[in-house]
Amino acid sequence: MSGHSVDGEERVPVAVLAAAFLFNVGQGVLRPTLPLYLQRSFAANYRMVTLIPVVFGSGKWIASVPTGYLLGRLGRPLMIWGLLLIALIDLASVMTSTYTVFLGLRALGGVGWAMFATVATTAMVSVPTVQRRGRAVSLLLMSETAGLLLGSAAGGWLYQGLGAASPFMFEAACVFIAAMAVGRWASRAAQSVPLPQGSRDWRLLRTILRTPGVLLMGAINATLIAIQTGVLVFLFPLYLVNRGRVGPETVGVLISLSVLGRLLTLWLGGTVSDRGGRMRALIPGLLSYAALLGTLAFVTHPVVLGVWSLAIGAAAGFVAAIPTAVIGDQVPPPLQGVAIGWLRMMTDSGQILGPLVMGALADAVDLSAPFLFGAALLTAMAWQCRRQANAISAAVTPERTDS
């Protein structure tokens, strides 16, 4: 996984991308149908439904950093164990008739997710050379997004046509196939990068956090996911209905435009950061995202909302891969697993806190307040990037032979 080999190890592992796609197809099928299953099986109220993503995110949050440490000792097969754990959790979930047991199983599913995602992300930042790292991370995010899109479209059909338990069985099948897809890749030589001596305590993480740019990239990732989940996923549809005066079918179209915009620019953001430097791409990307998010509060016409939705998704996609690529640039290979685990933990923190903070802000002030607050956070992150740009040695020289 060092990335120093000329032929094989500099290439992005296609097996990991295939596994990420399959895993997220399963996740996409389950997401829209899980509330329906809870209501049908446990007569769940709204609080019971919203506890599921909280415990799932908590499982990810708890397991991400320990997974980074374990990666240095157990290597790539850790990813397979994470996938198999998720498959077992899915099978057990449809067998229990107790909500509290179901809740605990979903928390364990978050642990499996962390095991898979931490290894997959570390593979993306450590396999390619620095001139390809941004594009490698972008490919992983594109695989995840495409899988979620496909799975979400099929989830309702599976639930309706094959029964309430079918989304769980489908996800279990997807992650089992994903485990087989990465099996050969994970069993190759040099599966792990040994951690330095004395790395079994938290001093190693403190060393990583002292590396220029690491703390800032964690804060940026947390901010991006907090805005994504707290504003765009939960509040943007309400804004479209209440302020844009559009119907549910139009809301679906406008939200899909945002996802399309993200897909269109994920590769572009990674490519630009590889060729022109991370900060040169990240700072204007964050500022553009802030401008679009802040001005959305003043847009009400459906056509203009469509343009803004596409542009916001594009801005979010452009910057999405860059913080992870910066971590890969700044942290030496033996420490990258722990660094990515910490970055994943920060991302999960944003996913847990984002909906809570943004929802409370909308209730206390106004529906437009979270959009303005998100724009302010992005602007602050861009300012911090500008201040630390000289300390972050993440600029890369264009590789003429790179295609």
Non-local CB neighbours of 365 within 8 Å, separated by 6+ positions: none
State the pLDDT at residue 395.
Answer: 43
Share of the chain above pLDDT 90, in %: 29
2 pLDDT higher than 80: no
State the pLDDT at residue 264.
Answer: 87
Fold (topology level) of 205-388: Growth Hormone; Chain: A; (1.20.1250)
Residue 247, exposed/middle/buried by CB under 10 A (0-12, 13-18, 19+)? exposed
Instruction: Please list the alpha-helical segments (H only) found in 228-335.
Output: 236-242, 248-276, 278-295, 302-320, 322-330
Tell me if 119 sits within 8 A of 78, measured CB to CB: yes
Count CB neighbours of 77 within 10 A: 17
State the pLDDT at residue 90.
Answer: 92
| Least trusted range by pLDDT, from 8-17, 134-143, 334-343 | 8-17
179 pLDDT higher than 60: yes
| Residue 316 to residue 146: CA distance in whole angstroms | 15
Instruction: Please list the alpha-helical segments (H only) found in 127-213.
Output: 133-162, 166-186, 203-209
Q: What is the location of CATH 1.20.1250.20 in the chain?
A: 14-194, 205-388
311 pLDDT higher than 90: yes
Token pair listed for 255: 């939200």
Count of residues in the chain: 403
| Least trusted range by pLDDT, from 3-17, 97-111, 173-187 | 3-17
State the pLDDT at residue 232.
Answer: 84
| 3-class secondary structure, 42 | helix
| 3-class secondary structure, 76 | coil
Cα Rg, the chain, nearest whole Å = 21
Mean of the per-residue pLDDT values of the chain: 83
| Residue 296 to residue 310: CA distance in whole angstroms | 12
pLDDT, tens digit, for every residue of 313-362? 999 999 999 999 999 888 888 888 889 989 999 998 988 888 888 888 88
State the pLDDT at residue 193.
Answer: 47
State the pLDDT at residue 21.
Answer: 93
| Residue 45 to residue 53: CA distance in whole angstroms | 14
Where is pLDDT greater, at 8 or 187? 187
Q: Give which of 114, 117, 115, 137 is closest to 125, Cα–Cα.
A: 137
Where is pLDDT greater, at 214 or 4? 214
Q: ∠ CA(326), CA(331), CA(334), 5° rounding?
A: 140
| Residue 355 to residue 225: CA distance in whole angstroms | 10
Instruction: Convert 106-144 to b/e letters by CB count within 10 Å (16 or more is b).
Output: bbbbbbbbbbbbbbbbbbbbbbbbbbbbbbbbbbbbbbb
Q: ∠ CA(97), CA(87), CA(67), 5° rounding?
A: 115
Token pair listed for 269: 């953001």
Instruction: Please list the alpha-helical segments (H only) found in 296-392.
Output: 302-320, 322-330, 336-364, 369-388
Q: What pTM value is reported for the model?
A: 0.81
| 3-class secondary structure, 93 | helix
Q: Give which of 184, 181, 248 is closest to 20, Cα–Cα.
A: 181
Element (H, E) at 100: helix 99-126
230 pLDDT higher than 60: yes
pLDDT, tens digit, for every residue of 268-277? 998 898 888 8
123 pLDDT higher than 70: yes
| Residue 111 to residue 23: CA distance in whole angstroms | 14
Direct distance between the N- and C-terminal alpha carbons of the chain, in angstroms, rounded to an integer:
21
| Residue 339 to residue 72: CA distance in whole angstroms | 12
40 pLDDT higher than 60: yes
Question: Which one-letter amino acid corresponds to residue 211?
Answer: T
Question: Which one-letter amino acid corresponds to residue 292?
Answer: L
If you average pLDDT over residues 153-178, what whole number do you get? Answer: 85
Determine whether domain 14-194 maps to CATH 1.20.1250.20. Answer: yes
Token pair listed for 79: 């990813």
Q: Is the dihedral of CA 14, 15, 20, 25 positive or negative?
A: positive
Tell me if 390 sits within 8 A of 268, measured CB to CB: no
If you average pLDDT over residues 280-304, what whole number do you get? Answer: 91
State the pLDDT at residue 188.
Answer: 65
65 pLDDT higher than 60: yes
If you average pLDDT over residues 16-45, what whole number do you get? Answer: 84
383 pLDDT higher than 90: yes
- pLDDT category of residue 256 using cuts at 50, 70 and 90: confident
State the pLDDT at residue 48.
Answer: 78
